[in-house]
Protein backbone atom coordinates (compact mmCIF):
# COMPACT_ATOMS: atom_id res chain seq x y z
CA UNK A 1 0.00 0.00 0.00
CA UNK A 2 1.49 3.35 -1.02
CA UNK A 3 0.77 6.54 0.85
CA UNK A 4 1.19 10.11 -0.22
CA UNK A 5 0.41 13.62 0.92
CA UNK A 6 -1.48 15.88 -1.47
CA UNK A 7 -1.58 19.67 -1.18
CA UNK A 8 -4.71 20.92 -2.91
CA UNK A 9 -5.15 24.63 -3.53
CA UNK A 10 -8.42 26.47 -3.87
CA UNK A 11 -8.71 27.35 -7.54
CA UNK A 12 -12.31 28.53 -7.83
CA UNK A 13 -15.48 29.08 -5.86
CA UNK A 14 -18.89 28.93 -7.43
CA UNK A 15 -21.55 31.31 -6.21
CA UNK A 16 -24.82 32.30 -7.85
CA UNK A 17 -24.15 35.87 -8.81
CA UNK A 18 -25.99 37.50 -11.70
CA UNK A 19 -24.67 41.03 -11.22
CA UNK A 20 -21.14 42.36 -10.76
CA UNK A 21 -20.24 43.02 -7.13
CA UNK A 22 -19.60 46.61 -6.12
CA UNK A 23 -16.13 47.25 -4.74
CA UNK A 24 -17.66 48.42 -1.45
CA UNK A 25 -19.39 45.06 -1.03
CA UNK A 26 -16.34 42.89 -1.80
CA UNK A 27 -15.57 42.19 1.90
CA UNK A 28 -19.14 40.95 2.36
CA UNK A 29 -18.59 38.59 -0.56
CA UNK A 30 -15.34 37.33 1.00
CA UNK A 31 -17.11 36.73 4.30
CA UNK A 32 -19.90 34.90 2.46
CA UNK A 33 -17.31 32.75 0.72
CA UNK A 34 -15.65 31.98 4.05
CA UNK A 35 -18.93 30.55 5.35
CA UNK A 36 -19.88 29.35 1.89
CA UNK A 37 -20.95 25.86 2.79
CA UNK A 38 -24.00 27.44 4.39
CA UNK A 39 -24.77 29.47 1.27
CA UNK A 40 -24.41 26.80 -1.40
CA UNK A 41 -20.93 27.85 -2.47
CA UNK A 42 -18.77 25.06 -3.84
CA UNK A 43 -14.98 25.09 -3.42
CA UNK A 44 -12.95 23.71 -6.32
CA UNK A 45 -9.57 22.40 -5.24
CA UNK A 46 -6.71 21.39 -7.55
CA UNK A 47 -3.77 19.21 -6.55
CA UNK A 48 -0.72 21.48 -6.52
CA UNK A 49 1.90 19.29 -4.80
CA UNK A 50 2.14 15.57 -4.11
CA UNK A 51 4.77 13.98 -1.86
CA UNK A 52 5.35 10.33 -1.01
CA UNK A 53 4.46 9.78 2.66
CA UNK A 54 7.96 8.95 3.96
CA UNK A 55 9.45 11.88 2.06
CA UNK A 56 6.80 14.23 3.47
CA UNK A 57 7.78 13.16 6.99
CA UNK A 58 11.47 13.76 6.22
CA UNK A 59 10.63 17.17 4.68
CA UNK A 60 8.69 18.47 7.67
CA UNK A 61 11.42 17.11 9.96
CA UNK A 62 13.65 19.86 8.51
CA UNK A 63 11.43 22.46 10.20
CA UNK A 64 12.59 23.65 13.61
CA UNK A 65 11.69 21.09 16.28
CA UNK A 66 8.94 22.30 18.60
CA UNK A 67 8.04 25.25 16.37
CA UNK A 68 4.45 26.20 15.59
CA UNK A 69 5.15 25.53 11.91
CA UNK A 70 6.37 22.01 12.60
CA UNK A 71 3.36 21.29 14.84
CA UNK A 72 1.04 22.58 12.11
CA UNK A 73 2.56 20.32 9.45
CA UNK A 74 2.60 17.36 11.88
CA UNK A 75 -1.18 17.64 11.87
CA UNK A 76 -1.23 15.56 8.69
CA UNK A 77 0.17 12.42 10.37
CA UNK A 78 -1.86 13.13 13.50
CA UNK A 79 -5.26 13.98 11.99
CA UNK A 80 -5.01 12.90 8.35
CA UNK A 81 -5.49 16.42 7.00
CA UNK A 82 -4.90 20.08 7.75
CA UNK A 83 -6.03 23.39 6.32
CA UNK A 84 -3.54 26.16 5.66
CA UNK A 85 -5.08 29.60 5.37
CA UNK A 86 -4.14 33.27 5.66
CA UNK A 87 -3.55 32.91 9.41
CA UNK A 88 -0.67 30.47 8.81
CA UNK A 89 1.15 32.28 5.98
CA UNK A 90 3.76 34.26 7.95
CA UNK A 91 4.64 31.40 10.31
CA UNK A 92 4.98 28.77 7.59
CA UNK A 93 6.74 31.01 5.07
CA UNK A 94 9.41 31.92 7.62
CA UNK A 95 9.87 28.28 8.69
CA UNK A 96 10.12 26.80 5.19
CA UNK A 97 12.45 29.58 4.05
CA UNK A 98 14.77 29.04 7.03
CA UNK A 99 14.74 25.25 6.56
CA UNK A 100 15.85 25.31 2.90
CA UNK A 101 19.57 25.46 3.77
CA UNK A 102 19.36 22.03 5.45
CA UNK A 103 17.11 20.39 2.86
CA UNK A 104 17.80 18.01 0.00
CA UNK A 105 17.33 19.38 -3.54
CA UNK A 106 13.90 17.67 -3.74
CA UNK A 107 12.83 19.16 -0.41
CA UNK A 108 14.05 22.57 -1.56
CA UNK A 109 11.83 22.29 -4.65
CA UNK A 110 8.84 21.43 -2.46
CA UNK A 111 9.65 24.33 -0.15
CA UNK A 112 9.91 26.68 -3.13
CA UNK A 113 6.47 25.55 -4.31
CA UNK A 114 5.10 25.82 -0.77
CA UNK A 115 6.40 29.39 -0.53
CA UNK A 116 4.74 30.18 -3.86
CA UNK A 117 1.41 28.81 -2.64
CA UNK A 118 1.74 30.77 0.60
CA UNK A 119 2.42 33.89 -1.47
CA UNK A 120 -0.82 33.23 -3.39
CA UNK A 121 -2.72 33.07 -0.10
CA UNK A 122 -1.04 36.27 1.08
CA UNK A 123 -2.13 38.01 -2.14
CA UNK A 124 -5.71 36.69 -1.95
CA UNK A 125 -6.89 35.75 1.52
CA UNK A 126 -9.83 33.68 0.23
CA UNK A 127 -7.36 31.06 -1.10
CA UNK A 128 -6.41 28.15 1.17
CA UNK A 129 -4.66 24.79 1.01
CA UNK A 130 -6.10 21.44 2.03
CA UNK A 131 -3.31 18.99 2.87
CA UNK A 132 -4.38 15.34 3.06
CA UNK A 133 -2.82 11.97 3.62
CA UNK A 134 -4.00 9.53 0.96
CA UNK A 135 -3.66 5.76 1.03
CA UNK A 136 -3.98 3.56 -2.06
Q: pTM for the full model?
A: 0.79
Q: pLDDT tens digits for the chain (136 residues)?
A: 689 999 999 876 655 555 555 666 666 666 666 655 455 556 678 899 999 999 999 999 999 999 999 999 999 999 999 999 999 999 999 999 999 999 999 999 999 999 999 999 999 988 899 999 999 8
By the 10 Å C-beta count (0-12 exposed, 13-18 middle, 19+ buried), 113 is classed as middle
Q: What is the DSSP string of the chain?
A: --EEEEEEEEEEEE----SPPPGGGHHHHHHHHHTGGGTT-EEEEEEEEEEEHHHHHHHHTTSPTT-HHHHHHTHHHHHSEEEE-GGGHHHHHHHHHHHGGGS-HHHHHHHHHHHHHHHHHHH-TT--EEEEEEE-
Nearest to 9 by CA among 53, 50, 44: 44
74: number of CA atoms within 13 Å, CB side? Answer: 11
Domain boundaries defined on the chain: 3-11+45-135
Amino acid sequence: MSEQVVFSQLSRKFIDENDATLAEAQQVVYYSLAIGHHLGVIDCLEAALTCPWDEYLAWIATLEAGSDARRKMEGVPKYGEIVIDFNHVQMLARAFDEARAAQTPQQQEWSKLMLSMLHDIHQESAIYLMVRRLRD
